[in-house]
């Protein structure tokens, strides 16, 4: 798997350069979820696919920016699902964005996820890799240097409540209000990668993107957004759920499926599970 992580490092350096100079305008295309693609989305995807093509252990890939699974190397062992530039609409307001990678064996299902990684492009470029543990690297002089292992505390201080608030259920709104009532700080940029990276680095809290009246199945994509971060949070002693069960037990029927999702420290996630179970219809 080392050659996969080396490929991710190479793509991160190329995407960093792209973000600094690239065209942030809209393309004339839409992705499979109906989002208008930015030229940056397409260019980032092309960078990653071109690099992954040369990694013999990668059998196939699926990208948020492409409709179908793309076969690469017939004898490869791994399948990679990735979001090449999550939060790309934040680049033109100079906020942090990221790339997310789920590494699967056999098939694209949560129970076949064997590793995960993400890159956050912010004031500094940082890479987090989760296998049996969670390690963070920082780009210094064009090399990724190991910085630290990431672990969540039992309880945190940050609250990152996503989605359109006037589409929340009343019990979800009460849950979020109660968490703020307990003194949690609002930390939400609209970029999943920096928002979840911040909670990991600050030791804990809650990130939520629930099902809502406008998006009953949530917005975040299972294979290349939710499952990789669920894997990372569990390996960092935290949890990730869909409101009722582990996110990594969610069934995938289509490669672009979404799911409601909550990521965080144990105390906050147990609070979510209690509220959701009490209010389940
Ligand atoms: P874009 O990739 O379309 O910018 O969306 C980013 C994202 O998928 C994810 O990174 C954020 O957590 C989420 O959307 C923010 O969605 P809301 O703006 O609805 O809270």
For 134-168, how does the pLDDT look when each residue is reduced to its tens digit (9 = 90+)?
A: 999 999 999 999 999 999 999 999 999 999 999 99
When the pLDDT of each residue in the chain is averaged and rounded to a whole number, the result is 96
Whether pTM > 0.75 for this model: the answer is yes
> Which atom of ligand 1 is closest in space to residue 164's alpha carbon?
19
- What pLDDT score was predicted for residue 23? 78
Q: Where are the domains of the chain?
A: 2-149, 158-278
Distance 163 CA to ligand 1 centre (A): 8
Residue 187 has pLDDT above 80, yes or no: yes
> Encoding tokens for residue 246?
């582990």
Q: How confident is the model at residue 191 (pLDDT cuts 50, 70, 90)?
A: very high
Q: Which residues are annotated as a binding site for Mg(2+)?
A: 64, 83, 85-86, 225
Best residue among 190, 193, 206, 220 to mutate for probing ligand 1's pocket (most ligand atoms within 8 Å of CB) is 190
The CATH H-level (homologous superfamily) assignment of domain 2-149 is: Fructose-1,6-Bisphosphatase, subunit A, domain 1 (3.30.540.10)
Angle at CA of residue 264, ends 261 and 268, nearest 5°: 100
Instruction: Give the residue, out of 40, 65, 85, 87, with the most ligand 1 atoms within 8 A of its beta carbon, to mutate for a pocket test.
Output: 87
pLDDT at res. 244: 98
CATH number for domain 158-278, candidates 3.30.300.30, 3.40.190.80, 2.60.40.720, 2.60.40.10: 3.40.190.80
What pLDDT shows up at residue 37? 79
- Return the DSSP state at 223: I
Q: Determine whether the shortest distance from the Cβ of 192 to ligand 1 is under 6 A.
A: yes
Span 261-281, average pLDDT = 96
Distance CA(30)–CA(180), nearest Å, equals: 37
Enclosing H/E stretch for 277: helix 266-279
Instruction: Please state the separation of Cα 155 from the chain's center in Å.
Output: 21
pLDDT tens digits, 26-38: 878 887 777 777 8
Q: Which pLDDT tens digit goes with each residue over 244-256?
A: 999 999 999 999 9
């Amino acid at each position: 798997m080392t050659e996969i992580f080396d490929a991710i490092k190479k793509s991160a350096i190329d995407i960093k350069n792209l973000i600094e100079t690239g065209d942030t305008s809209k393309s004339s295309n839409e992705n499979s979820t109906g989002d208008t693609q930015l030229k940056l989305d397409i260019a980032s995807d092309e960078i990653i696919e071109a690099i992954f093509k040369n990694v013999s252990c990668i059998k196939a890939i699926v990208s948020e920016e492409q409709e179908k699974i793309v076969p690469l190397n017939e004898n490869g062992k791994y399948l990679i699902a990735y979001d090449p530039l999550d939060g790309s609409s934040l680049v033109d307001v100079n906020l942090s964005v990221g790339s997310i990678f789920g590494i699967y064996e056999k098939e694209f299902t949560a129970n076949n996820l064997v590793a995960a990684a993400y890159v956050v492009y912010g004031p500094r470029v940082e890479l987090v890799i989760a296998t049996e543990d969670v390690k963070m690297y920082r780009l210094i002089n064009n090399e990724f240097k190991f910085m630290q292992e990431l672990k969540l505390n039992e309880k945190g201080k940050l609250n990152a409540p996503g989605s359109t608030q006037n589409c929340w259920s009343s019990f979800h709104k009460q849950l979020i209000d109660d968490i703020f009532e307990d003194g949690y700080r609002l930390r939400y940029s609209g970029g999943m990668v920096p928002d979840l990276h911040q909670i990991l680095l600050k030791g804990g809290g809650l990130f939520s993107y629930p099902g809502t009246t406008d998006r009953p199945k949530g917005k975040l994509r299972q294979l290349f957004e939710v499952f990789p971060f669920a894997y990372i949070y569990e390996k960092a002693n935290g949890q990730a759920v869909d409101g009722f069960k582990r996110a990594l037990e969610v069934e995938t029927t289509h490669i672009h499926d979404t799911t409601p999702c909550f990521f965080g420290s144990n105390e906050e996630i147990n609070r979510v599970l209690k509220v959701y179970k009490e209010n389940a219809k």
